[in-house]
Amino acid sequence: MDGNGRWAKKRALPRAVGHQRGVEAVRRLVRALEPTGLECLTLYAFSSENWKRPDEEVDDLMNLMRRFIRSDLPEFVANKVKLKIIGDWQSLAPDIVAMLEDALAQTANGNQTLAVALNYGAQHEIARAAAKAAASGAVSIETIAAHLDTADLPPLDLLIRTSGEIRLSNFLLWQAAYAEMIFVDTLWPDFEPAHLMQALDDFARRERRYGGR
């Protein structure tokens, strides 16, 4: 979900407003999930590199996360959306960890999964998984995959990046090995369910060969 800051800058608004509008885009997308039939939607919300941002912006993001959980959890439960968190989220502030643990418990029986990457970096994820695989006595593609944060999620089929940037930025590097990718110019606050449907239509027309002919 890229482009919140640039969205705000274009309008001479504080970056915090861009992040708030980004949350509204998340709400629109989650509310449109059911008819798509998607098993899982994964959103990159806060990377392990985002701690390098100014303290004020990081505090704004953390407070926005708190407000989002409080305000939107009942809707997640009502719409049977199952929450999944990937990344080193348990090292976040204790009150946020407690809120997330409660949200995970309350949404455990949902039909569609919303996975949120918090304090996430794919390189760290792979390193953690490899260390766990080594500790178990066998390092292989299968054992590393079994220890990834996403081990209990469906395979990654489609990766969409907004805002015109054409790079993965340390997101789901292992999982993206054979994923289809779509890069759009739309800044995240302007991303609508129609953009997702267009991406899914594009994906449906692609032929996936996984290295074969």
pLDDT tens profile 105-149: 999 999 999 999 999 999 999 999 999 999 999 999 999 999 999
- Please compute the mean of the pLDDT values over residues 80-108 and round it to a whole number: 97
2 noted as active-site residue: yes
pLDDT of residue 126: 98
* pLDDT tier at 211, thresholds 50, 70, 90: confident
What are the contacts of 121-128 at 24+ separation with CB within 8 A? Answer: 121/47, 121/48, 121/49, 121/87, 121/170, 122/168, 122/170, 122/171, 122/172, 122/173, 122/174, 123/170, 123/173, 124/48, 124/88, 125/86, 125/87, 125/149, 125/174, 126/173, 126/174
pLDDT of residue 210: 82
Active-site annotation holder among 50, 79, 88, 157: 50
Contact (CB, 8 A) for 76 and 4: no
50 noted as active-site residue: yes
What are the contacts of 173-180 at 24+ separation with CB within 8 A? Answer: 173/122, 173/123, 173/126, 174/122, 174/125, 174/126, 174/129, 174/144, 174/145, 174/148, 175/148, 175/150, 178/208, 178/210, 178/211, 180/206, 180/208
Over residues 23-63, the pLDDT tens digits come to 999 999 999 998 999 999 999 999 999 999 999 999 999 99
* pLDDT tier at 213, thresholds 50, 70, 90: low
Which residues, at least 6 apart from 45, have a Cβ–Cβ distance to it below 8 Å? 1, 65, 116, 117, 118
Beta strands at 81-86 and 112-120: parallel, antiparallel or unpaired: parallel
* E runs forming strands in 52-172: 81-86, 112-120, 158-161
pLDDT of residue 8: 96
Query: What is the distance between the alpha carbons of residues 41 and 179, in angstroms, rounded to a whole number?
Result: 14
Tokens of 187: 């800044």
Helices 193-205 and 15-31 sit at what angle, rounded to 10 degrees? Answer: 60
- How many CB atoms lie under 10 A from the CB of residue 91? 11
Least trusted range by pLDDT, from 56-60, 71-75, 209-213: 209-213
Look over the chain and give the mean of its residue pLDDT values, rounded to a whole number.
95
* pLDDT tier at 212, thresholds 50, 70, 90: confident
Domains of the chain: residue spans and CATH: 4-204 (3.40.1180.10)
Over residues 2-18, the pLDDT tens digits come to 999 999 999 999 999 99
- pLDDT at position 161 over 80: yes
Amino acid sitting at position 78: A
pLDDT of residue 19: 95
